[in-house]
Chains A and B, each alone.
Chain A
Amino acid sequence: MMFSKRINVALVSGLCALTPAPAAAQALAEQVAVCGSCHGENGKPQEKVTPIIWGQMRGYLYIQLRDFKRGDRKHEIMQAMAANFERDDMLAIAEYFSQKPWPDLGQPRAPKEVAERAVRANGSVGCTGCHFDQWQGDGTVPRLAGMSREYLAKAISEFRTRARGNNPGMSDLMLATSVEDLAALAEYLAGR
């Protein structure tokens, strides 16, 4: 984990060094090319704890970039990346990736008892009230169906500790849900 992060930092700073022009002036193509080094050239992220951004909701991607820039969401690499973006850059990048096809990570369907536990947990806190019945997301609410299990588990865990602080409502809901139920949800959503 530590190892791969260092590689990524090196890679990103290398790319930044190659393109010293202000972000606003960079072509969209150059901006999005950088993203592929972690999030995957073909939409499949290099690391399992890195989220899919191909086919993700436009509003959600924009808000995350905005929050990285503001420092509301913490991530060494992403904050450094977003620091150079203006609002229009972020909207364009979000639009670009939202129109890509969602990649199939080929994760297995959750076993029946895990799926049942996940569905029950959803019935209790109402995840699909915002993420929708197919967990497909909309607007500023992300798609969860088919996201990598490792990233889902990481995000859930970081919401619970508030290490991810850019959505306190999500933190509250994760804290109100048992760790066992959340593990079931991550497995269930990964396999959808």
Chain B
Amino acid sequence: MRQYQRNATILAGAAAIAVVAGASFAQEIKQDAVKAARMAKVPSVGQDLLNKAANDVNNFLLTNGDYAQTRFYPAKQINRNNVRNLKVAWIFQTEVRESLETSPIVVDGVMFVTTSFSHVYAIDAKTGEELWHYKHKMGPITTYCCGPNNRGVQVLGDLVYLATLDAKLVALNSKTGAVVWETQVADPEAGYSETMAPTVVKDKVLIGTNGGEYGIRGFVKAYDAKTGKLIWTFNTTPENSVGVWAMKDATDRDMHRNIEAEKAQLAKTGDPYKTLGGGVWQNPAVDLAANRIFFVVGNPSPDLDGSIRPGDNLYTDSLVSVDLETGKYVCHSQYIAHDVWDLDAVSPPVLVNAKDRSGKTIPAVIHGGKTGHVYVHDRKDCSLIRFSDAMVPQENMWVLPTKEGARMLPGANGGVEWSPMATDPGQGLAYAINLHQPMTYHVESSPYPNGKLWLGGAFKVIPSEAQSGNITAVDYNTGKIKWQVKTPQPMIGGILATAGGLVFTGEGNGKFAAYNSSNGKELWSFNAGAGVNAPPSSYSVGGKQYIVVGAGGNTQLDFKRGNSIVAFTQ
């Protein structure tokens, strides 16, 4: 807003000058593409280094820590015994005061963070000094719901990869922030935008898309990391999206579908796959050994009106696995077929080793759902092994939305929203942050609107009912809740576990805290003055471990905005 007002003033001045000079319109004010205060001394990041990220006690290389997305940081200098001594090392203020969802990436003492509107900063991770700033020159058309967010960058070789609100993929020089290549991923005018951090692996850059509220056709694409050339596209809504007419969700509850009416609609209008939504806006987990990726696919379009999109709406609301080299389908597991509540799958999946039903430990993949369950799947065929106890109240599931509004819990934000989970493999625990927001679900019907907001109704928070949140530790080998900490507000952002026996997470009221990862006991906290609604990272530089997190609030939940990246050490 500050920047907005300043621009308005400058432009007013420019307009006045233009009038005096007899020109007919104000000149465009050019943005600074790059402000290189000084070079960032970043070494080239090889694939080997990325492969070993899970054991790297100095760097934080991938959005969710490592390719398995465990968010388990292996350093333990900061631990249960000394976390009370944690103090602010530095605070970096970005020039964008809006929702911060960035996962800070750290390479050899240089940190890369992003802000809303697709800015990137390189910062000295020890001192908090700015090294360079990339300010994306945004195209005229951006179409997105839920905030102009950006969740971070990835680094491979000498390039930093960013995906932008105007649906571009950009590769920057890691030392200077200069643009090396740029490619248009999809058309923003048709409802596409980018907020996720790309995933870089084996010379590919993987990227999905937002747009589930705009009738897009979702995808995951792989680009050549060196040139930006498209290698493959996996469409998340296949040409036959009908599926098996599932009557029950993954937890065996009746979804009250009118299959007869859906079949009649299908005969009339055909398969709805072209405008069926199915965004992918969180990172895939990469199984390096199997050469496969696992990602979750978001809601069908329109969100609440199922009448015009007959069938199971594959692969919306699903865990999907595809081959890393070719993008070919391997397997999927759908949580909610023909979803009309937007209780879709968004929190990034995590690869763990978990017990199957016979008690044998197998390669598994887990996902924290908006439904409030943690789902555990067999990585081999995506099949569901178990789902956890509900982490939030569930009431009236699955009542169908009505014109007047039908109350059902959880509300449409979850459960677990996009917030990545953390895990502790030694303890067999997954840590999820949850929302409790009682809502009514309303349905309205309208045809595909050419890339416009297409909700098919509304989800309304019930103002008279209290909202809250929680941090929940789930034993993924049994599905039982190990511990739970209640918070005064719904939680969104993310969580980090460390080998120091801790979990770190933040709240909309500015609180950022450390908890004992075995029992949830609070051991330390700090108030950042704006919503801490971003996933924390950790790293070490100069022999000292740091914890870092963004405090910028959240647009979607209207948590207090800020512009700070806060680093802590002892």
Bound pair (A, B)? yes
Q: Does B461 contact A126, Cβ atoms closer than 8 Å? A: yes
Chain A residue numbers with a CB within 8 Å of B147 are 129
| With known contacts A29-B24, A176-B457, A129–B146 Cβ distance under 8 A | yes
Q: Which of B221-229, B239-247, B381-389, B554-562 is the interface stretch? A: B554-562
Give A101 Cβ to nearest chain B Cβ, in Å: 4
Residue B508 is within 8 A (CB to CB) of chain A in the complex: no
Besides the known contacts A139-B141, A175-B444, 14 further A-B residue pairs in the complex with CB atoms under 8 A apart: A28-B25, A58-B140, A62-B140, A99-B28, A99-B29, A120-B463, A128-B555, A128-B558, A129-B147, A129-B556, A132-B98, A139-B138, A140-B142, A171-B446
B24 contacts A28, C-beta separation under 8 Å: yes
B454 touches A168 (CB 8 A): yes
What B residues does A27 contact at CB under 8 A?
24
> Chain B residues with Cβ under 8 A from A136's Cβ?
1, 4
A32 on interface, CB distance cutoff 8 Å: yes
CB distance from A182 to the nearest CB of B (A): 13
Interface residues of A in 14-73 (CB under 8 A from B): 27-29, 32, 55, 58-59, 62-63, 70, 72
Chain B residues whose C-beta falls within 8 Å of the C-beta of A168 in the assembled complex: 302, 444, 446-447, 449, 452-455
A106 within 8 A of B: no
Question: Which residues of A from 120 to 158 have beta carbons under 8 Å from B?
Answer: 120, 122-126, 128-130, 132-134, 136, 138-140
B143 on interface, CB distance cutoff 8 Å: yes
Chain B 92-143 interface residues, beta-carbon cutoff 8 Å to A = 98, 138, 140-143
Q: Report yes or no: A133 in contact with B558, Cβ–Cβ below 8 A.
A: yes
- List residues 1-48 of chain B with CB under 8 A from any CB of chain A: 1, 4, 8-9, 11-12, 14-15, 24-26, 28-29
Determine the main DSSP class of A at the interface with B: helix
- As a 0/1 sequence over residues 142 to 168 of chain B, the CB contacts with chain A under 8 angstroms (1 = contact) are 111111100000000000000001000
Contact (Cβ within 8 A) A167 B453: yes
Q: Is the CB–CB distance between A172 and B556 below 8 Å? A: no
- Inter-chain CA distance A128–B141, complex, in Å, is 19
Shortest beta-carbon distance, B380 to chain A, in Å? Answer: 39
What are 28 A-B contacts defined by CB distance under 8 Å?
A28-B25, A32-B24, A32-B25, A70-B450, A72-B449, A72-B450, A96-B25, A99-B28, A100-B12, A101-B9, A124-B460, A126-B461, A126-B556, A126-B558, A129-B556, A132-B555, A133-B561, A139-B142, A168-B453, A168-B455, A169-B213, A169-B453, A172-B444, A172-B456, A173-B458, A176-B405, A176-B457, A176-B460
The answer for the CA separation of A133 and B444 in the assembled complex, in Å, is 27
Which of B1, B189, B458, B461 neighbours the largest number of chain A CB atoms within 10 Å of its CB? B458
B217 contacts A by Cβ under 8 Å? no
B141 touches A59 (CB 8 A): yes
Whether the Cβ atoms of B456 and A129 lie closer than 8 Å is: no
The answer to whether A134 touches B556, judged by C-beta atoms less than 8 angstroms apart, is no
The yes or no answer to B442 lying at the interface (CB within 8 A) is yes
| Closest chain B CB from A154 CB (angstroms) | 19
Residues of chain B with a CB closer than 8 A to A63's CB = 141, 189
A178 to B455, CA, bound (A): 18
Is B446 a contact partner of A101 (Cβ separation < 8 A)? no
Output the nearest chain A residue to B144 by Cβ-Cβ distance: A139
| Cα(A167)–Cα(B143), bound, Å | 13
* Contact A91 to B405, CB < 8 A, known contacts A128-B555, A166-B452: no
User: A170 to B455, alpha carbons, bound, how many Å?
Assistant: 9
- CA distance in complex: A102, B449 (Å): 29
- The CA-CA distance from A171 to B449 in the complex, in Å, is 12
List B contacts of A72 (CB < 8 A).
449-450
- Asked whether B561 lies within 8 Å of A171 as measured between CB atoms, the reply is no
The reply to whether A172 and B1 contact each other, CB–CB distance below 8 Å, is no
Whose C-beta in chain A lies nearest to the C-beta of B1?
A134
Number of A-B contacts (CB under 8 A): 133
Q: Which residues of A contact B (CB under 8 A)?
A: 27-29, 32, 55, 58-59, 62-63, 70, 72, 91, 94-96, 99-102, 120, 122-126, 128-130, 132-134, 136, 138-140, 162, 166-173, 175-176
Within the complex, the shortest CB–CB distance from A160 to chain B, in Å, comes to: 11
- A36, chain B: closest CB distance, angstroms: 12
Partner of B143, one of A91, A124, A140: A140
B contact residues vs A (CB 8 Å cutoff): 1, 4, 8-9, 11-12, 14-15, 24-26, 28-29, 98, 138, 140-148, 165, 189, 213, 302, 405, 442, 444, 446-447, 449-450, 452-458, 460-463, 555-556, 558, 561
Give which listed residue, B9, B25, B165, contacts A139 with CB less than 8 A.
B165
- The reply to whether B26 and A130 contact each other, CB–CB distance below 8 Å, is no
Distance in Å from the Cβ of B15 to the closest Cβ of chain A? 6
Give the shortest distance, in Å, between A192 (CB) and chain B (any CB): 12
Q: List the 6 closest pairs (A to B, CB-CB), nearest first.
A: A169-B453, A139-B142, A29-B24, A176-B458, A168-B446, A101-B12
B137 to chain A, nearest CB (A): 13
Q: What CA separation (Å) do A115 and B261 show in the bound complex?
A: 44
Smallest Cβ-Cβ distance to A176: which chain B residue? B458
**Chain A's nearest CB lies how many Å from the CB of B186?**
15
The reply to whether B449 and A133 form a contact with Cβ atoms under 8 Å apart is no
| A-side contacts of B15, CB under 8 Å | 99-101
Which residue of chain A lies nearest to B193 when distances are taken between CB atoms in the complex?
Answer: A139
Tell me whether A29 and B25 are in contact in the complex, defined as CB-CB below 8 angstroms, given that A58-B140, A59-B140 are known contacts.
Answer: yes
Q: How far is the CA of A124 from the CA of B8 in the complex (A)?
A: 31
Residues of B within 8 A of A125 (CB): 458, 460-461
Chain A residues within an 8 Å CB radius of B556? 126, 129
Determine how close the nearest CB of chain B comes to the CB of A42; give it in whole angstroms.
Answer: 11
Q: A96-B25, A166-B449, A172-B455 are in contact. Are A138 and B140 (CB under 8 A)?
A: no
Q: Cβ of B8 and Cβ of A173 under 8 Å apart?
A: no
Chain B residues, CB < 8 A from A94 = 140
A72 CA to B189 CA in the complex, in Å? 14
Q: How far is the CB of B364 from chain A (nearest CB, A)?
A: 35
Measured CB to CB, the nearest residue on chain A to B444 is A172
Task: Given A101-B12, A124-B460, check contact A167 B140 (CB 8 Å).
Answer: no
| Given A124-B461, A139-B165, A100:B26 Cβ within 8 A | yes
Known A100-B15, A101-B15, A120-B463; contact A129-B446, beta-carbon cutoff 8 A: no
A129 to chain B, nearest CB (A): 5
CA distance A29 to B24 in the complex (A): 6
Give complex CA distance A126, B460 in Å: 8
Alpha-carbon distance between A134 and B146 when the two chains are bound, in angstroms:
15
Q: Given the known inter-chain contacts A28-B25, A120-B463, A133-B561, please indicate yes or no for A139 contacting B12, CB distance below 8 A.
A: no
